[in-house]
Amino acid sequence: MNFLNSKLFTHSSAQGGGVEIPLEFETPGYSKEERDLLALSVESISHSFSDGSKVLQDFSISLRAGEIVSLIGPSGCGKTTTLRLIAGLERLQKGSITVGGVLAGTADWHMPAERRDVGMMFQDYALFPHLSVLDNVLFGLGDLSKPIRQERARELLDKVGMSELALRKPSTLSGGQQQRVALARALAPYPRLLLLDEPFSDLDTELRRKIRADAIKIIKSLGVGALLVTHDPEDALIMSDKIAVMRGGRVEQIGSPMTLYQKPVSTYVARLFSETNEIPGVVKGGRVETALGNVSADGLSEGQQVVVMVRPEHLLSGKMAELAGGAVEGQVSLLKQLGREVLAEVKLSGGLEIILRTGAENAPEEGTSILIALDPGRSNIYVN
């Protein structure tokens, strides 16, 4: 590996002697100024289990200071393994990992987890039951003087709204309060990178929303880069500046929440974030013909079989469908009230069933007919 403008430190092995290890190296594709802003750079890492099965294949991701990036995907796609490799809990087999411009791991070099300037927050919070809230936060600040440790710990407890409970034991706290303490402990050393592993999964809906919003504000205010592993699409959409959708150990798509929701690159990505209508179609004369109208077939071959995918809230209905042209009539077979919105199941004359989401004020009545049409600008086409 070619290390440029490297700073070196001497690492003493258990057998004695010192080996020069590069602290900083030339992260491919980034200038020095850009590297200084990177909280994390993962370059082309691959990993296999002891039985030979591959869990990560040429996986790359980066995030900047103050940026929150989510990894999302089904169980077994490599999310947790990625987190463990970045944290230093597993040795890297191929590729490189840097944290804050500092080399943390290659196939030949492994920086211990405690030296990686990484904060970690787990699903189970991992608080020490015999220590007070304050002492739990102080635990990771052992290298600092006592006054500075006390000041920093209390500052973080104040940020998470737990300063009044500083002397309580974790067993006397609610789940939400324990989660706040765990966040304060992870951030107290002011790490360059924060790793969050399913941190909100055990919280009820209302508390989840509150703590999620508070976590975003605190992470942003401290300028810490954060990598969130989650299986919950709502967590990813609300928390993230960018989302990386994983599939089979690779990144299927990475982009802003809006991009992934509105312009998914595959049906796999589209299905992760909400219900979808998947309407079969065929290319004829430069158009995709479907049971719900036609859309442009730019770049597709005549006679090609495709799927037109549209989210329930992106369908046109009633007067809007009529004005758009190409509307078809369907029967409302089921209506579900969702507060300000309703979800309607509509059966078209040809037998196709679709889902429509619309405002409660425009809701059709169950058993009645309704006009439905595609919105060409919000329909995505995928080749079978």
pLDDT tens digit sequence for 20-48: 444 444 444 545 555 557 899 999 999 99
Residue 4 domain-assigned?
no
77 and 131 both lie in a single domain: yes
- pTM for the predicted model, two decimal places: 0.84
Residue 16 domain-assigned?
no
* Residue span of the structural domain in which 216 resides: 30-267
What local confidence, expressed as pLDDT, does residue 384 receive? 72
Which residues are within 8 A (CB) of 169 and not within 5 positions of it... i.e. 6 or more apart?
A: 129, 130, 131, 132, 133
- CA dist 384 and 280 (Å) reads 9
- List the CATH number of the domain containing 375: 2.40.50.140
244 and 312 both lie in a single domain: no
Residue 12 domain-assigned?
no
91 and 120 both lie in a single domain: yes
Give the pair of three-digit tokens for residue 177: 């309060």
- List the CATH number of the domain containing 217: 3.40.50.300
Residue 2 domain-assigned?
no
What local confidence, expressed as pLDDT, does residue 35 receive? 52
What local confidence, expressed as pLDDT, does residue 110 receive? 95
What local confidence, expressed as pLDDT, does residue 26 receive? 44
Residue 23 domain-assigned?
no
| Beta-bridge mates of residue 280 | 307
Last residue of a domain, one of 267, 300, 324: 267
55 and 199 both lie in a single domain: yes
174 and 231 both lie in a single domain: yes
177 and 313 both lie in a single domain: no
86 and 172 both lie in a single domain: yes
pLDDT tens digit sequence for 255-309: 999 999 999 999 999 999 989 999 999 999 989 999 988 888 888 899 999 999 9
Residue 181 domain-assigned?
yes
248 and 285 both lie in a single domain: no
What local confidence, expressed as pLDDT, does residue 33 receive? 55
What local confidence, expressed as pLDDT, does residue 19 receive? 36
Last residue of a domain, one of 203, 235, 267: 267
What local confidence, expressed as pLDDT, does residue 242 receive? 97
302 and 241 both lie in a single domain: no
Query: In 3D, which of 321, 330, 314 has the Cα closest to residue 273?
Result: 314
Give the pair of three-digit tokens for residue 203: 């919280």
Query: Which residues of the chain register pLDDT less than 50?
Result: 1-28, 30
- CA dist 105 and 96 (Å) reads 6
- Cβ neighbours of 218 (radius 10 Å): 19
Residue 14 domain-assigned?
no
SS3 17: coil
Query: In 3D, which of 255, 253, 251 has the Cα closest to residue 58?
Result: 251
Last residue of a domain, one of 239, 267, 295: 267
103 and 155 both lie in a single domain: yes
- Side-by-side strand order, sheet with 277-284: 293-296, 287-290, 277-284, 305-310, 380-383
What local confidence, expressed as pLDDT, does residue 97 receive? 97
Task: Please report which helix (H) or strand (E) contains residue 211, including its range.
Answer: helix 205-222
257 and 278 both lie in a single domain: no
121 and 58 both lie in a single domain: yes
Residue 6 domain-assigned?
no
301 and 283 in contact (C-beta within 8 Å)?
yes
Tally the domains of the chain.
2
